[in-house]
Amino acid sequence: MKFIHSSDWHLGRQLHGESLIEQQRLALQQIAQLAVEHQVDALVIAGDIYDRSIPPAAAVTLLSDFLDEMIAEHQIPVLLTAGNHDSAERLGFAANQMKRSGLHIVGSLTAELTPILLQGKSGAAWFYPISYAEPTAVRHLLDDDSITSHEQAMAAMLAQVAAHSSEGLPKVVVAHCFLDGSSESESERPLSVGGADRISPALFTPFDYAALGHLHGPQYRAAEHVRYSGSPLKYSFSEATQRKSVTLVELKPSQPAVITLLPITAARDVRIIEGSLAELLERAKDDPHADDYLMVRLSDTHALLDPMGKLRSRYPNVLHLERTGLMTQQQDRDIGRERIKKGELEMFSDFFSQVAGELLTEAQQQHLHGLIDELHQGEDA
Amino acid sequence: MKFIHSSDWHLGRQLHGESLIEQQRLALQQIAQLAVEHQVDALVIAGDIYDRSIPPAAAVTLLSDFLDEMIAEHQIPVLLTAGNHDSAERLGFAANQMKRSGLHIVGSLTAELTPILLQGKSGAAWFYPISYAEPTAVRHLLDDDSITSHEQAMAAMLAQVAAHSSEGLPKVVVAHCFLDGSSESESERPLSVGGADRISPALFTPFDYAALGHLHGPQYRAAEHVRYSGSPLKYSFSEATQRKSVTLVELKPSQPAVITLLPITAARDVRIIEGSLAELLERAKDDPHADDYLMVRLSDTHALLDPMGKLRSRYPNVLHLERTGLMTQQQDRDIGRERIKKGELEMFSDFFSQVAGELLTEAQQQHLHGLIDELHQGEDA
């Protein structure tokens, strides 16, 4: 059994108010190509398919078209589960009527897990999809008052996986959860506050592979086969240095999983660039990816006129601006305030040079000096 | 080919703020029973499946469970199209992956119609599903600037049906539209204003059956086989006297359709009752359906204390109250005003008898008389 593990597509998501649907379409195209190229037997998506319980219609159409391509065109079965961002009920609509085509959508968690046997050219395996559910929901489902934590809820569901006879075939758990010790990104919505959502990675090690979703950075915990694929795209600037990928998994009975990360290259990367305004505007000329989604950290310590406008003339997709130069100054705030009080001449000089594109002449400086003195005398009167 | 034609389920709809989901569940149960009982080869639902483009999750689950029952349990194929209340994109999600199971969901209208051949124990037929689309959308789809009206848009789509070779099998058109001369109900949302949505019924007569949706009262136009099934439930008090049903259609090649209306009995009817408050409260004792959804028309011409509260103590689902007695009086408003001025004694007597449940005694009337006189003397002073 050879399959691609992915998760956290968050279709319909925006980045700082910017629609990512076109980037998502391109990422999905790459995933389809990789699936065909590597002749996988299945594609597994471990939750957070959509970004919201009611996704925009364009996201619904994007996923529908993608599934059509995978299944009708490439005959590659797809298994997807609901994450904490999805509406399990909505995602699970008519799921039973899709199975025969090879589309396995698992919406609301049920008391009894439904194992799915996928048979591929590279052999068969059992998949155990566990859609995301709150511990209280699991307690209610299983009618077991002892379940109060995420860990207990997951343990109860995994007991079913352990009890199921796979007749020697590999067992793959598909779940959406937070493993203790994992690295977070800013684009994840916590499952609960104060760390109560943490689950011991050891719960998953007995199975042949755990295809996990929720965390956006690719990583594994406890063992290489207990793994987050991570999201296919960067959904926050905190992920700027992550390398996004999908996970290719090859399973043979009684052998450890063979795992390969297949990179996904965003058409528009999400990056952070730093420097002075002048440096960055200069650097843009040699930047073939100047249209990336950018967070800009400006080191300038003086006032700047419309830096966002200037940056966007060269970098059209600057989404966020940080004045790190000014922020450092904050530490010397008191000194700074004094400087501002004294420095009308300096401030006006900065302003003038930015608007006019040239420095004040000696004569202009003299004139300005006179004016400022005059104003200050007015104050004293 | 024997099938049931229904439409306008409006799942998730409310009646005067009251959820109808339980009534809808019961109606769908009846439809499933009728389908099994009559051994139909298919169920066809001609649009307005949901009441809103984003239906409540409970409505999604209701439909999903129903489809599961029809298809997985009873092996009866279901064909449904989008109406003007549905989001065609959302309804059409993963539709291609459902076909093999016998679930044919037709979301967004496409330039080329996709005829569906359904093969049943009672023979085969071609179905031509035409989801609702605005004329501007059809003009754009077909790239035909001459299409400006609903009639032209439908004619263009039907030309494809006419051109398709059914090889002697019956042709069934499934459409959501407003046929000229049809009877409206208050619960329909007009497709356009000022009658521009009207389509000539003659467009549909050439086909073996037209399974239409949009209008909530069962009716046919131009010929018996050009037919609205109507909604399975009453969705406004304007439908109080309608008899709701689904339509059983039997088709044999080159023979007229045999049509039978199969009644749907609402667990809670939608009715209008009229009379004085006292009469209606009395009548409730012998009304086995006192929990129906009611509009009450009160004939009383005098002031009443909390009539809604009193009615609901006997009829728990009164949704709307009309004071027809007072409304008639409006015409004699001036006379009425005089009467109110003069009639403090009468008004207080009414009030007293309603609150205390008994009439004023002779002594109390005397006392009241005295009080009123005293007050009037105070006014004159």
Which band of pLDDT confidence, cut at 50, 70 and 90, is reported for residue A339? Answer: low
Average pLDDT, chain A: 90
Mutate to test the interface with A, among B60, B97, B109, B110 (most CBs of A within 10 A): B97
The closest alpha carbon to A320, from A16, A19, A14, belongs to A16
- From the CA of B295, how many Å to the nearest CA of chain A? 35
Cα–Cα distances (Å) from B362 to B48, B143, B366, B368, B373, in that order, read 63, 85, 6, 10, 17
Q: What whole-number distance in Å separates Cα of residue A45 and Cα of residue A85? A: 13
- pLDDT of residue B45 exceeding 70: yes
Are A97 and B103 in contact (CB < 8 Å)? yes
Chain B interface with A: residues with Cβ < 8 Å: 54, 57, 60-61, 63-64, 67-68, 71-72, 87, 89-90, 92-103, 105
Cβ–Cβ < 8 Å for B319, B294:
yes
At residue A44, what are phi and psi to the nearest 5 degrees? Answer: -120, 130
For A108, name the nearest residue in chain B, comparing CA atoms only: B61
Structure tokens that stand for A227 in this block: 């793994």
At residue A97, what are phi and psi to the nearest 5 degrees? Answer: -80, -5
Structure tokens that stand for A53 in this block: 């319980």
Q: Measured in whole angstroms, how far is the alpha carbon of residue A186 from the centre of its chain?
A: 8
Whether the CA torsion B335, B341, B347, B349 is positive or negative: it is negative
Instruction: Please name the member of A57, A61, A72 whose beta carbon is closest to the beta carbon of B96.
Output: A72
According to DSSP, the β-strands at A219-221 and A223-228 are antiparallel
Q: What is the mean pLDDT of residues A263-284?
A: 94
Are A71 and B96 in contact (CB < 8 Å)? yes
The closest alpha carbon to A19, from A44, A61, A51, A66, belongs to A51
- pLDDT, one tens digit per residue, over B226-271 is 999 999 999 999 999 999 999 999 998 889 999 999 999 999 999 9
According to DSSP, the β-strands at B171-176 and B258-263 are unpaired
Whether the CA torsion B191, B194, B196, B201 is positive or negative: it is positive
Q: What is the mean pLDDT of residues A347-364?
A: 77
Cβ–Cβ < 8 Å for B172, B126:
yes
Give the type of residue at B247: T
Cβ–Cβ < 8 Å for B118, B101:
no
Are B93 and A97 in contact (CB < 8 Å)? no
- From the CA of B96, how many Å to the nearest CA of chain A? 7
Mutate to test the interface with A, among B93, B110, B114 (most CBs of A within 10 A): B93
- pLDDT of residue B380 exceeding 60: no
Mutate to test the interface with B, among A62, A69, A97 (most CBs of B within 10 A): A97
Are A57 and B90 in contact (CB < 8 Å)? yes
Instruction: Please name the member of B57, B92, B105 whose beta carbon is closest to the beta carbon of A90.
Output: B57
Residue B38, C-beta contacts closer than 8 angstroms, at least 6 positions apart: B2, B4, B248, B262
Residue ranges of domains in chain A:
2-263, 270-380
Cβ–Cβ < 8 Å for B322, B298:
yes
Instruction: Please name the member of B60, B92, B100 whose beta carbon is closest to the beta carbon of A100.
Output: B100
Q: What whole-number distance in Å separates Cα of residue A234 and Cα of residue A203? A: 28
Q: How close are the terminal C-alpha atoms of chain B, in Å?
A: 89
For A77, name the nearest residue in chain B, comparing CA atoms only: B97
DSSP three-state, residue A193: helix
Q: What is the mean pLDDT of residues A83-109?
A: 93
Structure tokens that stand for A251 in this block: 């399973």
At residue B261, what are phi and psi to the nearest 5 degrees? Answer: -90, 125
Residue A194: predicted pLDDT: 73
Residue B344: predicted pLDDT: 74
Instruction: Please name the member of B63, B89, B94 whose beta carbon is closest to the beta carbon of A98.
Output: B94
Q: Given the structure tokens 């007072």, which residue do they identify?
A: B326
For A87, name the nearest residue in chain B, comparing CA atoms only: B57
- pLDDT of residue A241 exceeding 70: yes
Residue B321: predicted pLDDT: 93
Cα–Cα distances (Å) from B197 to B128, B202, B326, B362, in that order, read 21, 15, 38, 66
Cβ–Cβ < 8 Å for A311, A280:
yes
Task: State which fold the B2-263 domain adopts.
Answer: Purple Acid Phosphatase; chain A, domain 2 (3.60.21)
Strand ranges (DSSP E) for chain B? 2-6, 14-15, 18-19, 42-46, 78-81, 103-106, 116-120, 123-130, 171-176, 178-179, 198-199, 209-213, 219-221, 223-228, 245-250, 258-263, 270-275, 293-298, 318-322
The closest alpha carbon to A95, from B64, B79, B87, B44, belongs to B64
DSSP state of A218: -
A22-40 per-residue burial string, b: 16 or more CB within 10 A, e: under 16: ebbebbbebbbebbeebeb
- pLDDT of residue B184 exceeding 90: no
Inter-chain Cβ pairs, chain A and chain B, closer than 8 A: 72
* Geometric angle at alpha carbon A44, from A42 and A50, rounded to 5°: 135
The closest alpha carbon to A291, from A318, A322, A320, belongs to A318
Cβ–Cβ < 8 Å for B351, B368:
no
Residue B381: predicted pLDDT: 46
Chain A interface with B: residues with Cβ < 8 Å: 54, 57, 60-61, 63-64, 67-68, 71-72, 87, 89-90, 92-103, 105
For the question of an ipTM over 0.85, the answer is: no
Structure tokens that stand for B380 in this block: 């004159």
State the helix-helix crossing angle for A150-163 and A135-142, rounded to 10 degrees: 50
Instruction: Please name the member of A61, A103, A105 whose beta carbon is closest to the beta carbon of B89.
Output: A61
Q: What whole-number distance in Å separates Cα of residue A223 and Cα of residue A245? A: 19
Which band of pLDDT confidence, cut at 50, 70 and 90, is reported for residue B334? Answer: low
Q: What whole-number distance in Å separates Cα of residue A218 and Cα of residue A7? A: 10
- pLDDT, one tens digit per residue, over A203-235 is 999 999 999 999 999 999 999 999 999 999 999
Are A90 and B63 in contact (CB < 8 Å)? no
- pLDDT, one tens digit per residue, over B156-170 is 999 999 999 999 999
DSSP state of A172: E
- From the CA of A317, how many Å to the nearest CA of chain B? 30
List CB contacts (< 8 A) between A64 and chain B.
92-95
Residue A212 pairs with which residues in a beta bridge?
A175, A228
- From the CA of B156, how many Å to the nearest CA of chain A? 26
Q: What whole-number distance in Å separates Cα of residue A184 and Cα of residue A217? A: 7
DSSP state of A187: T
Instruction: Please name the member of A87, A90, A98 whose beta carbon is closest to the beta carbon of B98.
Output: A98
Residue B185: predicted pLDDT: 87
Which band of pLDDT confidence, cut at 50, 70 and 90, is reported for residue B363? Answer: confident
List CB contacts (< 8 A) between A89 and chain B.
57, 60-61
Residue A348, C-beta contacts closer than 8 angstroms, at least 6 positions apart: A360, A368
Cα–Cα distances (Å) from B282 to A29, B59, B277, B353, in that order, read 70, 38, 9, 16
Residue B216: predicted pLDDT: 95
The closest alpha carbon to B173, from B99, B94, B251, belongs to B251
SS3 per-residue string spanning B67-123: HHHHHHHCCCCEEEECCCCCCHHHHCCCHHHCHHHCEEEECCCCCCCCCEEEEECCE
Which band of pLDDT confidence, cut at 50, 70 and 90, is reported for residue A347? Answer: confident
Structure tokens that stand for B261 in this block: 């209306």
- pLDDT of residue A380 exceeding 80: no
Q: What whole-number distance in Å separates Cα of residue B294 and Cα of residue B280? A: 12
Q: What is the mean pLDDT of residues B7-29?
A: 95
